[in-house]
Amino acid sequence: MNVKDIYNTIDFDSLPIDEFWNTGDEKENKMHRIHAYPAKFPAFITTKALNYANNLGIEVNQVADIFCGCGTTAYETSRNGINFWGCDINPVATLIASAKSKKYDILELNSYYSIIVKKQSEIQIDFDSLNINDRIRYWFKENNIVDLIKLKQSIELAVPQNSIYRNFFFCAFSNILKPTSMWLTKSIKPQYDGEKKPQEVMGAFLSQYTFMLNANKENQLCGSANLNIENINFLESTRDTPFVDLIVTSPPYVTSYEYADLHQLSTLWLGYSEDYKEFRKGSIGSLYHNSDYKNDCAQLSPVGRDIILELEKSDKNKAKSAAKYFVDMQKCVKKSYDILNEGGLALFVIGNTEYKGVKINNAKHLVESMATCKMSSIDVIRRKISKKILTPYRDEKGKFTNDSNSRKVYSEEFIVIGRKG
């Protein structure tokens, strides 16, 4: 079969489920749960990708994740004693990834925690004199705003600026923001819950710290592995020559979340931006970007162009964002090819979606992009997303449900693998 035509011969919906990629062989480490993160793929995917590469005779010394998110691939790669490089445009994501991918001294953690709690109780705040962001006022009650300000200041005073321990405690701080706010519990999108009773700040912080402390006790990172995580857009990275043996990554989908919206609390509180919306513009798949639609359409591959033509019929704005997404993904695949060493492997985890009746075949477009870059031995694998099997729908507030009258969530995704050379 001509590799250029492979995407036209695959019936993605009829591919058999590959049980090998459905479940892991060991319990997932607690470090993967130190901070909530949407659309996080299972940790075992990375280990299985390493085994897959080894079975092909590929010696893997360097792994990359070009959409590293909260650091799942980073952690598992380091745990296996292999060097890692990754990047993500979202500063909240790279904070989590960096915090997760370190081993901490327990005595030092406890010492810092005690100092933070002591300082938090001593700091005095005059709420009326504070210049507080309107979005923070919207999401938080006055007493919790005061306590969060005191807690953040205490972390800054107690932990040196360049210390890995500061990221640890800021990660803990970030993960208590939703439970201490009026954000609807377990909602995947921003929803204000006027009936919610927010958690008390220091109680939430103690619970979060205790969990992270226990997770660190079973931390399995290998100290010999070199790990580098950068807060950048992969397309703007200066890395464009071969240095990677294996890429393991999960791109956003074309009709995916606005990640800037989902992480707005942390973005505002940690000072990454005064307006979280500015991060929308650089995100792949976002509706909010400054892009030339006509120029994007001219760069589209045949699969991408067909999808855009269908989307135009129902939603021109979505068509514009999808066009930018597909063009960016084509560039990401090409840049991925460029950074792979000869014989190296790229593994993408991606799902297909639907928007207003239009099927968005993200996997097919990805295969086409890989074939266009002359990747060889392209393989497409279909797997179950286990957490979505029992609750395959979302209600109007974004919560998972088994109510078939709600919006269906796809419970399957694809692993697309290609090789350089």
Average pLDDT of the chain is 90
- 357/328 same-domain check: yes
Helices (H), 30-105: 44-55, 72-79, 91-100
Which percentage of the chain shows pLDDT scores above 90?
Answer: 73
Tell me the whole-structure pTM to 2 decimals: 0.91
| Residues 120 and 31 both lie in one domain | no
Phi and psi (nearest 5°) for 6?
-60, -35
Residue 194 lies in a domain: yes
249 and 377 belong to one structural domain: yes
Q: In the predicted model, is pLDDT for residue 259 greater than 90?
A: no
Percent of the residues in the chain that have a pLDDT greater than 70, as a whole number: 89
Of the residues 159, 188, 217, which one is the last residue of a structural domain?
A: 217
How wide is the angle at C-alpha 281 spanned by C-alphas 362 and 397, nearest 5°? 65
Last residue of a domain, one of 167, 198, 217: 217
Regarding whether 177 and 297 lie in a shared domain, the answer is: no
- Domain limits at 388? 3-90+225-255+287-419
Question: How far is 115 from 118, CA to CA, in rounded Å?
Answer: 5
Q: Is residue 271 part of a domain?
A: no
Same domain, 45 and 110: no
- Is residue 276 in a domain? no
Whether 387 and 378 have beta carbons less than 8 Å apart is answered as: no
Residue 338 falls inside a structural domain: yes
Query: Could you tell me if 64 and 144 lie in one domain?
Result: no
239 domain residue, yes or no:
yes
- Whether residue 342 is contained in a domain is answered as yes
| Interval 380-388 mean pLDDT | 81
Q: What is the CATH number of the domain that holds 249?
A: 3.40.50.150
What 3 state SS string does 214-239 have?
A: HHHHCCCCCCCCCEEEECCCHHHCCC
Shared domain check, 230 and 123 = no
Terminal alpha carbon distance of the chain: 16
Are residues 250 and 305 located together in one domain of the fold?
yes
Of 171, 195, 217, at which residue does a domain stop? 217
For residues 293 and 415, membership in a common domain is answered with: yes
pLDDT in tens, 183-218: 999 887 899 999 999 999 999 999 999 999 999 999
Per-residue pLDDT, 18: 93
Strands 244-249 and 340-350: parallel
How many domains are there within the chain? 2
Does residue 309 belong to any structural domain of this protein? yes
What is the spatial distance between Cα 346 and Cα 418, in angstroms, rounded to a whole number?
A: 5
Q: What is the mean pLDDT of residues 374-383?
A: 94
Q: Indicate if the pLDDT at residue 53 is higher than 80.
A: yes
> What residue has token string 């589209």?
300
Q: Are residues 362 and 234 in the same domain?
A: yes
Q: Are 77 and 112 in contact (CB under 8 A)?
A: no
Q: Are residues 389 and 310 in the same domain?
A: yes
The pLDDT of 153-177, averaged and rounded, is 97
Q: Is residue 99 a part of any domain in this protein?
A: no
Out of 18-32, 137-151, 221-235, 384-398, give the one with best mean pLDDT.
137-151
**Domain match, 370 and 247 both:** yes
